[in-house]
């Protein structure tokens, strides 16, 4: 990497609290005044004159969790204080007074810091918390330190890279605080060995005496390293102000996987008589009697685990005991990962299976130190009425999968929570009889990747396409949608289109559902704004499943699909016919006002084609004004929005988002004019006009001066105002957007990890 591990590069302060930053607030307000032209009025009229300053309020659309949260960590010093780490959506803190999880990183602009590798609440001070942040091995990594529960962060970039969204993200916790001297922290890295900080994470140095120095950072597409999986201090070993006994797990292949130090990390030895070398220690907890409970897998997960075990080791006696819940020959596959001890009841432990798809994943409970176990899955019921997508179109929600995070509340033995690949479940009584009741504990958590968004001019204001959880009809933005895209279910919904003149007709395209092993439906048709669907059969084609996108004419009478030679259908996909005159790999888009008009761009020749007969025949237009070479504008991936767009309000009005700039046509593509704008538009969308009869409001994901942001224009792209602000950067992980066609000024933004956020103008009076 060209840098020596252990060297402190820089520390910066991230402060998302607007009220603590007076000067930036003044500058921001002046910028808003200048953009609206009201500063001259204020100067002319003097102090005390009131003016209306545009202010955009940002909120999350409620879906509820939706992604993989590798672990939940309770504070050991304050009741009702807990933190959640997610693999691509940042960290959250539970706020008991608000009854909600609070996102803690929305003001950060570094994308990589939203992959949380590890979390560590301070064992003495409830206000202090640390996070290890770094999403992928080749992206920046940092240790985050907060003295106010994550309201603000000190960010210390570090040279050892992380993998918060790579395999092995359920291991941990890799970051640990010495309970006897809280200025001392250890971090177990994936690639570079064990690191230590003596100044509350402000600087780091490698522990050179630790036997495992790391396997080095692997280049893609090689699998990632697991590295050091956990660090555990023994609080009872305090001497000379710090803990002397430390236990460290290593999940890289090798003969030894568990190491110990009894002199505060100066020297290390491998623990004797360890479990078989093919078993990798993934999580561990130490009880007050000095017994270390360790969960093992034969892989680092969350996929690819086929075997595992649970052991306990007496750190003082040296005795090992296999306490695996299932040891019989022919036991189901999968390993163990999530593990937690009851701090109120010595000897009580829970452990979760990992990647045991058949018959199901589960959690086991033991009150006698693992001598006997109780499988809680058969007596568990889940109430998912607040997040009905968890039904997946089935009569009952399943127990969950990828259970890497599992925790017993240290202040309440009955309160237990576990994370899954889609949500966070909790119960208030783990021993309830005859049924243990679980509910999603997810208010405030929005941790999903959004692929596409479409606003309708009538009906529900928004339809969404998600990664992994299909998509939704959003009728009330404040509650989890009652309508999920099912029958058919897609894994990912990649595109959504509607008939411009009859917007109750909607089509969607996506990838097959996970359970179909890549052979399920990928196209669907609706006549009730996406509330119910019927499957559309694709024509035969050589493309991969899920690569095709379907669109619908403005009248709703014709469908087109982008097979190598695009095809059209007049009977909702029952039969398909090749379009005449259209080159290969030209994807059609439909005019939103002309009933049977379609357009298609040939990226090889930079020519536009038009059909006026519902896609049956296309003719080339010798368009004037387009860039000479647009081949680099062809999307290389099915989830990338298409650059040729149609205005929803004006017939024959086209927009083309190019590397060479933004181009606009008002004559069905005969001529294009480059818009002389001061931002580089990366993605464009349309919203309701400001006044009746005026042009559509434009929204964009774009850059100016190296700053990637969300923008709005009311004059066809000549001038733009920035909508995103310092408190709502979301790591700049903006993936898609859609203006609202029913509410002026509202824009929906699909992020990569923080769900759907939206902004709308709020009048704000200022002196």
CATH number, position 334: 2.130.10.10
pLDDT of residue 397: 93
Where b means 16+ CB within 10 Å and e means fewer, 465-477 reads bbbbbbbbbbeeb
Query: What is the C-alpha separation between 446 and 95, in angstroms, rounded?
Result: 15
Least confident of 118-132, 252-266, 384-398, 644-658: 384-398
pLDDT of residue 514: 79
Residue 451 clears pLDDT 60, i.e. is over it: yes
Question: Could you read off the pLDDT of 579-629 as tens digits, one per residue?
Answer: 999 999 999 999 999 999 999 999 999 999 999 999 999 999 989 999 988
Question: Could you read off the pLDDT of 626-642 as tens digits, one per residue?
Answer: 998 899 999 989 999 99
pLDDT of residue 165: 97
pLDDT band at 763 (very low <50, low <70, confident <90, very high): confident
Residue 767 clears pLDDT 80, i.e. is over it: no
CB neighbours of residue 409 within 10 Å: 23
pLDDT of residue 628: 86
Using the 8-state DSSP alphabet, how is residue 545 labeled? T
pLDDT of residue 54: 63
Using the 8-state DSSP alphabet, how is residue 437 labeled? E
Question: Could you read off the pLDDT of 548-570 as tens digits, one per residue?
Answer: 999 999 999 999 999 999 999 99
The answer to whether position 619 is within a domain reads no
Residue 32 clears pLDDT 80, i.e. is over it: no
- Mean per-residue pLDDT for 233-252? 95
Query: What is the C-alpha separation between 322 and 336, in angstroms, rounded?
Result: 13
- Mean per-residue pLDDT for 159-182? 97
Which stretch of DSSP H or E encloses residue 23?
helix 22-36
pLDDT of residue 46: 30
- Mean per-residue pLDDT for 262-289? 98
- Mean per-residue pLDDT for 273-287? 98
Residue 4 clears pLDDT 50, i.e. is over it: no
pLDDT of residue 7: 28
The answer to whether position 521 is within a domain reads no
The answer to whether position 425 is within a domain reads yes
Residue 5 clears pLDDT 90, i.e. is over it: no
Least confident of 45-49, 64-68, 282-286, 707-711: 45-49
Query: What is the C-alpha separation between 627 and 646, in angstroms, rounded?
Result: 18
Residues belonging to the active site: 87, 468
pLDDT of residue 15: 38
Query: What is the C-alpha separation between 764 and 767, in angstroms, rounded?
Result: 10
pLDDT of residue 142: 98
Query: Mean pLDDT, the chain, as a whole number?
Result: 91
Q: How many domains does the chain have?
A: 1
Domain that holds residue 157: 71-440
Question: Could you read off the pLDDT of 749-760 as tens digits, one per residue?
Answer: 999 999 999 999
Residue 299 clears pLDDT 50, i.e. is over it: yes
Query: What is the C-alpha separation between 107 and 152, in angstroms, rounded?
Result: 9
Query: What is the C-alpha separation between 728 and 726, in angstroms, rounded?
Result: 6
pLDDT of residue 329: 86
Q: Residue 489 corresponds to which tokens in the numbers above?
A: 């279910």
Strand, helix or coil for residue 19: helix
What would you measure as the largest C-alpha separation in the chain, in angstroms? 87
Query: What is the C-alpha separation between 684 and 662, in angstroms, rounded?
Result: 9
The answer to whether position 507 is within a domain reads no
CB neighbours of residue 681 within 10 Å: 22
The answer to whether position 742 is within a domain reads no
Question: Could you read off the pLDDT of 503-530 as tens digits, one per residue?
Answer: 999 999 999 987 777 789 999 999 999 9
- Mean per-residue pLDDT for 30-53? 32
Higher pLDDT, 140 or 629: 140
The answer to whether position 221 is within a domain reads yes
Query: What is the C-alpha separation between 470 and 484, in angstroms, rounded?
Result: 7
Query: Pairing between strand 380-382 and 436-440?
Result: parallel
Q: Give first-to-last CA distance, the chain, whole Å.
A: 52
Query: What is the C-alpha separation between 369 and 349, in angstroms, rounded?
Result: 7
């Amino acid at each position: 990497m060209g840098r020596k591990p252990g060297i402190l590069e820089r520390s910066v302060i991230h402060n998302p609290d607007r009220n603590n930053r007076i000067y930036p607030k003044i500058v921001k307000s002046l910028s808003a005044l200048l953009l609206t032209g009201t500063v001259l009025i204020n100067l002319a009229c003097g102090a005390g004159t009131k003016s209306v300053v545009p202010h955009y309020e940002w909120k999350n659309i409620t879906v509820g969790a939706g992604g993989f949260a590798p672990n939940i960590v309770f504070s050991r010093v304050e009741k009702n204080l807990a933190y959640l780490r997610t693999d691509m959506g940042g960290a959250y803190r539970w706020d008991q007074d608000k009854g909600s999880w609070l996102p803690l990183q929305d003001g950060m602009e570094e994308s990589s810091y939203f992959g949380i590798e590890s979390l560590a609440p301070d064992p003495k001070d409830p206000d202090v918390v640390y996070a290890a942040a770094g999403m992928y091995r080749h992206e920046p990594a940092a240790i985050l330190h907060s003295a106010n529960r994550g309201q603000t962060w000190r960010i210390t970039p570090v040279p050892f890279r992380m993998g918060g969204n790579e395999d092995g993200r359920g291991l941990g916790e890799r970051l640990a605080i010495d309970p006897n001297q809280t200025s001392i922290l250890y971090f177990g890295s994936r690639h570079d060995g064990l690191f230590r900080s003596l100044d509350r994470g402000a600087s780091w140095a490698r522990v050179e005496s630790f036997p495992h120095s790391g396997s080095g950072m692997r280049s893609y597409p090689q699998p990632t390293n697991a590295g050091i999986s956990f660090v555990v201090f023994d609080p009872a070993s305090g001497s000379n102000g710090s803990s002397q006994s430390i236990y460290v797990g290593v999940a890289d292949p090798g003969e030894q996987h568990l190491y110990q130090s009894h002199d505060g990390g100066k020297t290390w030895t491998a623990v004797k008589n360890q479990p078989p070398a093919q078993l990798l220690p993934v999580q561990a907890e130490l009880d007050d009697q000095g017994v270390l409970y360790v969960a093992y897998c034969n892989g680092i997960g969350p996929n690819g685990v086929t075997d595992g075990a649970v052991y306990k080791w007496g750190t003082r006696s040296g005795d090992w005991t296999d306490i695996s819940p299932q040891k019989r020959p022919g036991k189901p596959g999968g390993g163990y990962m999530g593990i937690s001890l009851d701090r109120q009841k010595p000897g009580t432990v829970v452990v979760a299976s990992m990647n045991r798809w058949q018959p199901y994943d589960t959690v086991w409970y033991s009150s006698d130190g693992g001598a006997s176990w109780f499988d809680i899955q058969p007596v568990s019921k889940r109430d998912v009425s607040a997040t009905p997508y968890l039904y997946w179109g089935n009569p009952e929600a399943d127990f969950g999968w990828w259970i890497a995070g599992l925790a017993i509340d240290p202040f309440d033995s009955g309160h237990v929570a576990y994370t899954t690949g889609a949500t966070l479940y909790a119960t208030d009584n783990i021993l309830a009889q005859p049924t243990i009741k679980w509910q999603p504990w997810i208010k405030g958590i929005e941790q999903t990747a959004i692929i596409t968004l479409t606003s309708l001019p009538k009906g529900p204001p928004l339809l969404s396409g998600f990664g992994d959880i299909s998509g939704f009809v959003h009728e009330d933005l404040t509650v989890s949608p009652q309508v999920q895209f099912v029958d058919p279910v897609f894994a990912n919904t990649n595109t959504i289109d509607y008939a411009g003149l009859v917007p109750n007709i909607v089509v969607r395209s996506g990838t097959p559902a996970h359970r179909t092993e890549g052979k399920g439906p990928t196209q669907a048709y609706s006549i009730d704004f996406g509330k119910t669907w019927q499957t559309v059969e694709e024509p035969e084609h050589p493309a991969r499943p899920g690569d095709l996108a379907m669109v619908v004419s403005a009248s709703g009478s014709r469908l087109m699909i982008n097979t190598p030679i695009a095809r059209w259908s007049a009977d909702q996909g029952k039969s398909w016919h090749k379009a005449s005159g259209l080159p290969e790999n030209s994807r059609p888009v439909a005019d939103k006002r002309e009933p049977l008009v379609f357009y298609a761009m040939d990226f090889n020749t930079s020519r536009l084609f038009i059909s006026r007969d519902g896609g049956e025949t296309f003719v080339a237009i010798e368009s004037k004004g387009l860039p000479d070479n647009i081949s680099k504008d062809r999307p290389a991936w099915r989830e990338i929005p298409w650059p040729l767009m149609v205005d929803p309000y004006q017939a024959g009005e086209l927009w083309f988002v190019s590397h060479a700039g933004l181009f606009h046509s008002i004559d069905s593509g005969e001529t294009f004019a480059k818009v002389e704008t001061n931002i580089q538009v990366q993605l464009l969308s349309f919203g309701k006009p400001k006044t009746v009869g005026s042009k559509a409001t434009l929204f964009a994901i774009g850059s100016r001066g190296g700053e990637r942001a969300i923008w709005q224009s009311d004059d066809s792209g000549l001038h733009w105002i920035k909508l995103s602000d310092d408190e709502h950067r979301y790591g700049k992980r903006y993936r898609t957007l859609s203006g609202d066609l029913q509410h002026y000024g509202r824009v929906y933004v699909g992020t990569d990890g923080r769900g759907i956020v939206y902004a709308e103008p709020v009048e704000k009076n200022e002196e």
